[in-house]
Chains A and B, each alone.
Chain A
Amino acid sequence: MTGSLDFLLLLSVVGVPLAALLAPSVVGRWLLVLLYVVQLVELALLGSGDGARSAVSFSLLGHSVGWQLDALGWFFAMITVAAAGFSAAYAAGEWGTLNARAGLSLRWLYVGLQVNVFAMLVLLAAGDMVALFIGWELTSWAGLLLMLLAGGEAIAAARRYIVYAIAGGMMVLGGLLMTLAAAGSLQFDAVAAAIPTVGTSALWAITLLFVLGFSVKMATMPFHLWQAPAYAFSPAPASAFLGAISARMGLFAIALVAIKLIGIVQLDRLYLYFDALNLRNLLAWVAVFTAILPTFVAMKQNDARLLLGWHGVGQGGYMLLGLVMADSLGSAGGLLHVFNHATYQAILLMAVFAVIHRTGTADLNRLGGLVARMPLSFLAMLIGIIGLAGLPPMNGFVSKWMIYRALILEGQPLLFVATVISTLGTVLSVYKLLHNTFLGQLRLEHETVKEAPWSMTIPMLVLCVVVFVTGVAPGLVLEYVAAAQQALGLAPVAFILGGIDSPAGTLDMIWVTAILLAGFGIGAVLFYLMGGRSRRVHQLDNYAGGHFLTADVRYQYSDNFYAGLMHRIRPWYRGSFAWAEEALVSTFGAIATAARGFFEQANPAHWVLVGTTLITTWVMWHALV
């Protein structure tokens, strides 16, 4: 039995009215989760092999537009549909019921989710550049649906997002037109064939327009300001879905256009100063700064959702870095990180929203000590942060290891050191997240807090299993990553079930994990079976400095958690990008005010003056030149 792309797209279109119909009731919401399962099965049946073609095609201004899902698109599509399914399940039970009572429109939430899935499938299955553009715009606007739902802060963030998205869309359109002018066609094959004959300056323009346009969605620097607030303040399932996969559409599009169509060989024609500073190096450094700076911005956040949002921006840097390395190991690491990031980021956001569900806040200065009250959410967050920080044995380690190794082998030690700085920053930041939420002092008002309901914990825990299993056996995912690499025209990575087998250094996670678990076993034997019996005291039974503390005294160490570090690096947070954005906004404001002033003052005499001046200038220009 094989699947068909048309049936999949049809399923996801039909899902939209179904979502509107079914979302208000609990049973309906579970049926919608089932719909995602069906979509996922259909996608799995399609297989990651070479492209299932859609029968839908039409002609637009003489360009035929069609859809075909290759291995790269399939890889992203699986993640997308699965992320939507988990998010939908998370909201299906108590979360949905309580939030609907509080005024959230579940219809819009589920419709938004399904519209996003559909839009992303349209993008991922694009068979030519017109289809790609259609998908791109659909995806951009669909994202807005989810961001607008929560109201309040979310509205401002969504407004900012859409300005960025439109700017990105314009750049993509510009690139599209340049491509048409240069290649005479918008079919992938024709474009790829024509690129080697395109002049260097035209290729610069095409590449930059596409890469910058798509980067807006990735929120790589300098377009990084919009993403964290826009994703963070959406309702829980929307936030988990957006955080997990939405921004990666930018990576998909960059991979498709820059690596598959333009190609590494052609990209290397583009350099600023001989080969020392070529476009790929430039992009690699942009990616590295995207990995570092947002991570250190995340470290300063006091809202758990924003903290994770900023990490989402930062992790995108790793993916782009791996991709532009373009060797088999690095690009595989970058693509694998898309999957890994989707899994742990969804867990982390779900855990944070579970805490919000029970305590009403994500303020890291108003929580603490919840580990004994919400142990499953704690476990989920713990596994999530080990993944995000990239420590063994979770999956985040494997993809980062591949990128590190690629950087070392390609002789890029500075990039390697820079990525490790980002990872270390992540470790600090995620410990703060975990500590301030679940560890330290329990607040009195949280003494009666209960674990989140099963409908919320099960999606988290299932994802935890995924994070662990794909960390121990990354080969399970690398198989599809290698197929995606081939679809991009890159050398596929040589993988084994446990990781990477290479003469310059192997990684076998099955062994590493087995040893680690055995080590923990020995540690447990040493601790629990030897020595005196330990006596557990109540969580609120604490003392400090020789005084017993009553629980109503607040002594949780949470604010400005890394005080010593901040003392040193605070001057480096200059907010230059926010300043630049502000400056741009005020410049446009000034121009708009001037134009409006002129318009309001306008009378025919002014226009005569303007007209005469312009004509005179034109005549003089031509007379002189």
Chain B
Amino acid sequence: MHWSELAIELTLMPLVAFVVGLAMVLMMRKIAARLQRRVGPPLLQPLYDIVKLYGKRTQTSHGMLHEIGIVMAVGGYVAAETLLPVPGMNGIAEKGGMITLLYLTMIPSLGLALGVGQCANPNGSIGISRALTAMLAYDIPLVIVIAGVAIHFGTTNLVDVIAQQQAGGIATWGAVQMPLLAIAGLFALQGMLGKQPFEIYVAPAEIATGPMVEMGGKFLGGLFVMQCFQLYTASVLYVTLFLGGGENWIAFLAKAFAVLVIPMSIAFLFPRYRTEDMITMLWKWPVVLGLIGLAFVGS
């Protein structure tokens, strides 16, 4: 591939991710509003929010690491998006693969954790300790799912995973071939997104939004951007592993949004679990389902 083509892809992929992510945030809010019999925000509200936060006059920094944390949180996702193939663009997906992507998406979280740590607010530290615990909880079913998918398709290369599913049609989709893993994957997705019932680390009434407690202005704006990327990454990864990726942009976007409807609808119907209950929950059902699914993959 010519370098200029690659450069365009590497620029477009994060940009697309951001725009789609904004729309996903909007969808999340719309769903919440409908469930609560409200009208919900207008089309461009997510964008207005980011502009507003960036433009705030009071921008309190607790030190350089606080700022670098936000840089890492956004930058890590910008990088991660180039490892996630979209229709017509593979970026550098073939140079990394799913394990690299999995670990690369921990970088933004680490950045956030560093930034919050420097703020010296105990609520923030408690939030991070809970967020990392949540990660330990949902990543175990997630890696079972990843292992199953990698063994099923015989590769860790996401481009190959998509190609195999698209060549064989719907019957070869991960979700059809590995339904148990697909269900376990949904649990992990819910945890990854940090939505109810797994949002004890935010817990506004108890620890004052945890990691976000010292974040104002563009610090919070950065986290908003990070959330857009996070929604996009989680849902596109799921589409890639289980729903055959995107044959074209319309199918791709339809699948990506459809996948997110499930966790978002669940989220606004449930209260939150306590940390220990969240661990029990995520280490029980999705893990059991995942291990049974894995046994089928292996045989």
Residue of A nearest to B80 (CB): A519
* Separation of A527 and B78 alpha carbons in the complex (Å): 13
Cα A484 to Cα B53 with chains together (Å): 55
- Output the least CB separation between A520 and chain B (Å): 4
Asked, given contacts A413-B148, A435-B117, A534-B217, whether A512 binds B65 with beta carbons under 8 Å apart, the answer is: no
Contact with B along A532-553 (1 / 0, CB 8 A): 1111110100101100000000
Partner of B129, one of A512, A519, A530, A562: A562
Contact across chains for A532 and B100 when beta carbons are under 8 A apart: no
Which chain A residue lies CB-closest to B143? A420
CB atoms of A562 and B133 under 8 A apart: yes
Decide if B104 is an interface residue (CB 8 Å cutoff): yes
The total of chain B residues at the interface (CB under 8 A) is 88
- Other-chain residue from B75, B123, B217, B274 in contact with A521 (beta carbon distance below 8 A): B75
Complex Cα gap A405–B249 (Å): 31
Q: Which residues of A contact B95 (CB under 8 A)?
A: 498, 506-508, 511-512
Partner of A392, one of B59, B71, B100: B100
A592 part of interface (Cβ distance < 8 Å) = no
Q: Min CB distance, B288 to chain A, in Å?
A: 13
* B155 with A505: CB separation less than 8 A: yes
B128-A564 in contact (CB<8A): no
Residues of B contacting A567 with CB < 8 Å?
275-276
CA distance A382 to B69 in the complex (A): 12
Tell me whether A564 and B276 are in contact (CB under 8 A). yes
Contact of A535 among B59, B77, B298 (CB under 8 A): B59
Query: With A562-B133, A564-B276 as given contacts, are A417 and B143 in contact (CB-CB < 8 Å)?
Result: yes
Q: Among residues 511 to 530 in chain A, which have CB atoms less than 8 Å away from a CB atom of chain B?
A: 511-512, 515-516, 518-524, 526-528, 530
The range of chain A's interface size is 35 or more
Question: Residue B225 contacts which of A425, A504, A526, A539 (CB distance < 8 angstroms)?
Answer: A526
Binary contact readout B236-258 vs A (1 if CB under 8 angstroms, 0 otherwise): 00000000000000000000000
1/0 contact string of A137-174 vs chain B (CB within 8 Å): 00000000000000000000000000000000000000
The secondary-structure label for the interface of chain B is helix
User: What sequence of 0s and 1s flags, for each residue 419-439 of chain A, a beta carbon within 8 Å of any chain B beta carbon?
Assistant: 011001101100110110011
Contact A565 B97 (CB under 8 A): no
Contacts of B58 in A (CB 8 A): 535
Pick the contact of A439 from B53, B118, B143 — CB < 8 Å? B118
B147→A416 contact, CB < 8 A: yes
Q: Does B103 sit within 8 A of A, measured CB to CB?
A: yes
Q: In the bound complex, how far is the Cα of B6 from the Cα of A14, in angstroms?
A: 57
- Interface status of A557 (Cβ within 8 A of chain B): yes
Chain B 44-61 interface 0/1 with A at a Cβ cutoff of 8 Å (1 = within): 000000000111111111
Q: Check: A563 CB closer than 8 A to any chain B CB.
A: yes
**Chain A residues near B123 (CB, 8 Å)?**
544
Given the contacts A427-B106, A537-B61, A515 and B92 also touching, CB distance less than 8 Å? yes
**Which of the segments B24-32, B107-115, B165-173, B262-270 contacts the partner chain?**
B107-115
Contact B117 A440 (CB under 8 A): yes
Which partner residue on chain B sits nearest A404 by CB separation?
B99
Q: How far apart are B268's CB and chain A's nearest CB, in angstroms? A: 23
Is A588 in the interface zone, CB < 8 Å from B?
Answer: no
- The reply to whether A417 and B120 form a contact with Cβ atoms under 8 Å apart is no
Q: Which chain B residues border A526 with CB–CB below 8 Å?
A: 74, 222, 225
Q: Are A539 and B65 in contact (CB under 8 A)?
A: no
Which residues does chain A contribute within 8 Å of B193, judged by CB atoms? none
Q: How far is the CA of A421 from the CA of B283 in the complex (A)?
A: 12
A384: shortest Cβ distance to chain B, in Å?
A: 13
Q: Are B133 and A565 within 8 A (Cβ)?
A: yes
Q: Give every chain A residue within 8 A of B129 (Cβ-Cβ).
A: 432, 557, 561-564
In this assembly, does A442 line the interface, its C-beta being within 8 Å of a C-beta of chain B? Answer: yes
Can you name the residue of chain A whose Cβ is closest to the Cβ of B109? A427
CB-based nearest B residue for A556: B122
Proximity string of chain A (293-315) to chain B, C-beta cutoff 8 Å, 1 when within and 0 when not: 00000000000000000000000
User: With A and B bound together, what is the CA distance between A567 and B99 in angstroms?
Assistant: 30
Given contacts A413-B151, A413-B294, A565-B133, contact A515 B79 (CB under 8 A): yes
Q: How far is the CA of A542 from the CA of B56 in the complex (A)?
A: 20
Q: Is A397 an interface residue (CB 8 A)?
A: yes
Closest CB in chain A relative to B194 CB, distance in Å:
15
Interface of chain A residues 406 through 462 with chain B (CB within 8 A): 408, 411, 413-414, 416-417, 420-421, 424-425, 427-428, 431-432, 434-435, 438-442
8 A-B pairs within 8 Å (CB atoms) are namely A392-B103, A413-B151, A506-B94, A512-B100, A516-B75, A542-B120, A544-B123, A562-B129
By Cβ-Cβ distance, the 6 closest A-B pairs, closest first, are: A564-B275, A523-B75, A439-B117, A519-B79, A531-B54, A505-B156
Q: Which A residues have a C-beta under 8 Å from some C-beta of B?
A: 368-369, 371-372, 382, 386, 390-392, 397, 401, 404-405, 408, 411, 413-414, 416-417, 420-421, 424-425, 427-428, 431-432, 434-435, 438-442, 498, 504-508, 511-512, 515-516, 518-524, 526-528, 530-537, 539, 542, 544-545, 555-557, 561-565, 567-569
